[in-house]
Amino acid sequence: MPPSGDAPSAIEHTLRVIGDRWSILIVRAALRGIRRFDDFCEDLGIARPILTERLRRLVRNGVMIKVPYQDHPVRYEYRLTDAGIALSPVLVALVRWSEEHAPGATTPTALVHAPCGTELEQAFWCRRCRTTFGPTAIRGVERRQVDGDSAADMPDAPAGH
Amino acid sequence: MPPSGDAPSAIEHTLRVIGDRWSILIVRAALRGIRRFDDFCEDLGIARPILTERLRRLVRNGVMIKVPYQDHPVRYEYRLTDAGIALSPVLVALVRWSEEHAPGATTPTALVHAPCGTELEQAFWCRRCRTTFGPTAIRGVERRQVDGDSAADMPDAPAGH
DNA sequence: ACATCTGGGTTCTGTTTTAGAACTCACTCG
DNA sequence: CGAGTGAGTTCTAAAACAGAACCCAGATGT
């Protein structure tokens, strides 16, 4: 089922990893500090066989890792990898959308910039113009092959992670 | 199936609207200019009954609108609302993730800042610190009730849409 | 030393979604 | 009047999901 004729697009690739009803919620739980099978199970209300399968897939795709946290009864817990943490922008975008476009959305927790405690915004950033902007200023252009990093006359990156 | 005990969280709300295997791809197709039933069908390779159901749900949730584009045989097309366009950050986040964390991801089109053509970045922005930052600097805090816009000593918003 | 508990699963049986192809319906065009 | 067109519906079969019960390896209590 090709999306637009060509090979699986970027979005489709990501959706194949986290595009089911549970994976994103699992990642969110993990970001909140949950690590163990039973805790995921209870926190999410997910059926056990499905949790098993999802964790396995997230591990396979490098989103989480399974690490033993004790031996004797060898027990494992699941932690986000860097790639898993890098899903945050997706989560934040989902939260923001519901906050701005939901009827009576209750949002118990706010997302803030850790150092200063100010509620964060999410924006698109143009490094050349050095400005943020909204969705209407986005355009999609064909990317030519072997594009050997043509742009090289701009000051610096947006900021440090 | 409560996620963390309380009412449906923001993420869950958004996922109930676009959290299936097709809705996001439908929105993406719409952003690329597709409007008509058969075109969605062909572009996505989605089964017709499912497309029917999804479009109906997207309309119900204010993501798209169904507008007649001719009468006599009254024919309808589907267009994104502002709320639908506001899903762009989600799409961009999904694209970016696969670009940065996929094995051999092919990305035929690049997303650029329309006015200048520079490839865009997506970042978190703190209006107080006036800086962008990455996922590791995010913290979630309990939001107290009736929070009557307590913060009022910061210059301006990140930028204009 | 036996019973019970804990944590991380697996097996089983429904129910719900999804996929795919074929069909309908209202109209237009040649 | 026969062949399209566009936007769906109606089937059927295949896959995903939910829920409860079960399993296994050790630890712990008595």
Q: Let me know if residue B1 belongs to a domain.
A: no
Q: Let me know if residue B141 belongs to a domain.
A: yes
- The pLDDT confidence band at residue B124, using thresholds 50, 70 and 90, is very high
- Quick check: A1 CB within 7 A of strand C? yes
**Residue B131: pLDDT above 70?**
yes
CA distance A50 to B115: 46
Q: Let me know if residue A133 belongs to a domain.
A: no
How many angstroms separate the CA of B38 from the C1' of D6?
A: 7
pLDDT tens-place string over residues B69-112: 998 899 999 999 999 999 999 999 999 999 989 766 667 788 99
**Residue B21: pLDDT above 90?**
yes
CA distance A52 to A34: 15
Among B86, B100, B129, whose Cβ lies nearest the Cβ of A97? B86
Stretch (H or E) spanning B31: helix B23-31
How many angstroms separate the CA of A158 from the C1' of D2?
A: 64
Q: Let me know if residue B95 belongs to a domain.
A: no
At how many degrees (to 10) do helices A23-31 and A88-101 cross? 100
pLDDT tens-place string over residues A58-92: 999 999 999 999 988 999 999 999 999 999 999 99
Quick one: pLDDT at residue B145?
62
Q: Let me know if residue A5 belongs to a domain.
A: no
Name the percent of chain A in helix, strand, coil, to the closest 5: 35, 20, 40
CA distance B159 to B43: 34
In three-state secondary structure terms, B142 is strand
For residue A45, what is the domain's CATH number? 1.10.10.10
How does strand A138-142 pair with strand A131-133?
A: unpaired
- Per cent of chain B over pLDDT 90 is 71
Contact A9 B107 (CB under 8 A): yes
Would you state the structure tokens that stand for residue A15, as one six-digit string? 């959706």
- Quick check: A12 CB within 7 A of strand D? no
Quick one: pLDDT at residue B155?
40
Quick one: pLDDT at residue B142?
86
> Which residues in chain B have Cβ-Cβ distances shorter than 8 Å to A155?
none
Structural domain including B158 reads 107-145+152-161
First to last CA, chain B: 37
Lowest-confidence pick of A80-94, B24-38, B147-161: B147-161
- Quick check: B20 CB within 7 A of strand C? yes
The number of domains in chain A is 1
One domain, residues B17 and B74: yes
- The pLDDT confidence band at residue B146, using thresholds 50, 70 and 90, is low
Contact A15 B28 (CB under 8 A): no
Q: Which of residues 16-75 of B touch strand D (CB under 7 A)?
A: 36-39, 48-49, 52, 55, 66, 69, 73, 75
One domain, residues B63 and B122: no
One domain, residues B80 and B25: yes
pLDDT tens-place string over residues A95-153: 999 999 976 666 778 899 999 999 999 999 999 999 999 999 999 998 876 544 444 44
CA distance B128 to B111: 28
- Quick check: A76 CB within 7 A of strand C? yes
Can you tell me the mean pLDDT for B126-132?
94
